[in-house]
Amino acid sequence: MTTMPPLETARRRDDDDPLADFRDSFSFPTTEDGDQPIYLCGNSLGLQPESTRDIIDRELDKWADMAVDGHFSGEQPWSTFHDPLAEPMAEIVGARPEEVILMNTLTVNLHLMMISFYRPTPERPKVLMERSAFPSDRYAVVSQIEHHGFDPDEALVEVGDGRDETLLDEDELLEAIDRHGDELALVLIGGVQYYTGQSLDLEPIVEAGHDVGAKVGFDLAHAVGNVEIDLHDWDADFAVWCTYKYLNAGPGAIAGCFVHERYAEAFDLPRLAGWWGHEPETRFEMNPEFEPQRGAGGWQLSNAPILSMAPLEASLDLFEQAGMSRLRQKSVELTEYMLDLLDTMPDAPFEVLTPRDPESRGAQLSLRLTESRGRELFESVRDRGVVCDFREPSVIRVAPAPMYNSFEDVWHLCDILRDVVSES
Ligand SMILES: *Cc1c(COP(=O)(O)O)cnc(C)c1O
């Protein structure tokens, strides 16, 4: 087939979509001309739920009206603000509430987790990760290796051929874990790859890591709120994620962290301590000795940044209503629809880099441009009112987020791509 199906077909899909109304709960950006672009960039920054403003206003009012009393009185006192968020957050990552804590930002949490779960010895100094991991993760790992006095040239194991456009071979990854075996202290892997959109099967990675005696942690930045996650049952040691991508909690919002239940009372595990990780019952007795609380909360350092945490309340409420399994189902349908439409384009100057198997992808499709004028094509698409992004050297990332994107959005994207390609 080389013709686009009519727009009507997309509208019919939207009419049948049980989640279609969630779109109305979000603010969409507008251009200077007052047009509404097609927003397909939720993999980078999710849209603002309309209820966010009221929730932030509520906290500003509390601060204005109650000042210091806001810590312990009124509705949702700041000292326990995150408690009601733990359950809906845990639901999204397949964890028990006590295994999840909202704190800091992603890279900070990754460091805190490595302090506890990367304990290199001369016999077992290595960290294994993907060669094309997000740079921040690699910087964090290399600095941890050096912090412990080891040489990254020897202690960092990177799997994959290093070309960004290649998918990670999951068998190769498992073999590498097995091969480095008793020299491996930690396996750190991203759930969904930021560049290719590949979604990895994480449970076998935990199994392989544990089989050789390594700890296994995940960076779920692009996986959380995107694909279904089952951290507790997969038996991961730890995981970290941000909340401003598919979770729509706003720029630089509070991040999440998972520590498996088996460490809930592992108080002898080395950790960096702060007063907010102290047992809450006695925290304000101001004892000089640190007494960590049970569970992931024991890794907290500072009192919670309420204004960066409050937006998550708005977002988690929508996730609770929509449900991850329904969102995921819609997401698969959206990307399948997009792939079908892209397949109607004759001589497209790009190929879909993301795996075709829906099990191996989330909401994002990465289009790898096969010609040198990649950036030009991206800019033409953007000029026609599509918000997506370009990652050097040659990939356009588009991510229909099932929470607020429609089949019609996908149709328009493909229609615009088709126009731009035929004109160039
Ligand atoms: C988005 C992203 C980050 C960003 O880290 P911050 O600490 O939130 O700035 C890190 N790692 C991965 C894999 C990401 O996708």
Q: What is the tens place of the pLDDT at every residue in 21-62?
A: 999 999 999 988 888 899 999 999 999 999 999 999 999 999
Report how far ligand 1's centroid is from the alpha carbon of 248 (Å).
14
Q: Please check whether residue 202 is in contact with residue 210, taking contact to mean a CB–CB distance below 8 angstroms.
A: no
**pLDDT of residue 306 exceeding 60:** yes
Q: Give residue-wise pLDDT tens across range 139-187.
A: 999 999 999 999 999 999 999 976 666 899 999 999 999 999 999 999 9
Report how far ligand 1's centroid is from the alpha carbon of 19 (Å).
28
Helices (H) and strands (E) in the chain, counts: 14, 15
- Is the pLDDT higher at 220 or at 377? 220
Q: Give residue-wise pLDDT tens across range 82-129.
A: 999 999 999 999 999 999 999 999 999 999 999 999 999 999 999 999
List, in order, residues 6 or more apart from 124 with CB less than 8 Å away: 182, 183, 184, 185, 213, 214
Pocket residues for ligand 1 (CB within 6 Å)?
105-107, 134, 136-137, 190, 194, 219, 221-222, 242
Identify the pLDDT of residue 17: 98
Ligand 1 pocket mutation pick from 103, 107, 141 by most atoms within 8 angstroms of CB: 107
Q: Which of ligand 1's atoms lies nearest the C-alpha of 255?
A: 8
Q: Give residue-wise pLDDT tens across range 263-280.
A: 999 999 999 999 999 999
Q: Please check whether residue 43 is in contact with residue 397, taking contact to mean a CB–CB distance below 8 angstroms.
A: yes
List, in order, residues 6 or more apart from 49 with CB less than 8 Å away: 25, 26, 27, 248, 311, 314, 315, 317, 318
Q: Please check whether residue 388 is in contact with residue 40, taking contact to mean a CB–CB distance below 8 angstroms.
A: yes
Ligand 1 pocket mutation pick from 112, 131, 194 by most atoms within 8 angstroms of CB: 194
List, in order, residues 6 or more apart from 302 with CB less than 8 Å away: 103, 274, 275, 276
Q: How confident is the model at residue 421 (pLDDT cuts 50, 70, 90)?
A: confident
- Is the pLDDT higher at 373 or at 333? 333
Q: Which of ligand 1's atoms lies nearest the C-alpha of 194?
A: 15
Identify the pLDDT of residue 35: 87
Q: Please check whether residue 43 is in contact with residue 364, taking contact to mean a CB–CB distance below 8 angstroms.
A: yes
The two structure tokens encoding residue 408: 């019609």
Q: Please check whether residue 91 is in contact with residue 320, taking contact to mean a CB–CB distance below 8 angstroms.
A: yes
**pLDDT of residue 392 exceeding 90:** no
Taking the CA atoms of 275, 278, 283 and 286 in sequence, report the sign of the dihedral they define.
negative
Identify the pLDDT of residue 384: 93
Report how far ligand 1's centroid is from the alpha carbon of 105 (Å).
9
Q: Which domains does the chain have, with CATH numbers?
A: 7-36+323-423 (3.90.1150.10), 56-320 (3.40.640.10)
| pTM listed for this prediction | 0.96
Pick from 175, 187, 170: nearest CA to 114: 187
Report how far ligand 1's centroid is from the alpha carbon of 106 (Å).
6
Q: Give residue-wise pLDDT tens across range 200-219.
A: 999 999 999 999 999 999 99
DSSP code per residue over 250-291: -TT---EEEE-GGGTT-TTS-----GGGB-HHHHTTT-SS--
Report how far ligand 1's centroid is from the alpha carbon of 142 (Å).
16
> 409 to each of 40, 211, 306, 364, 375, how far by Cα in Å?
8, 45, 34, 14, 22
How far apart (Å, rounded) are the C-alpha atoms in residues 120 and 379? 46
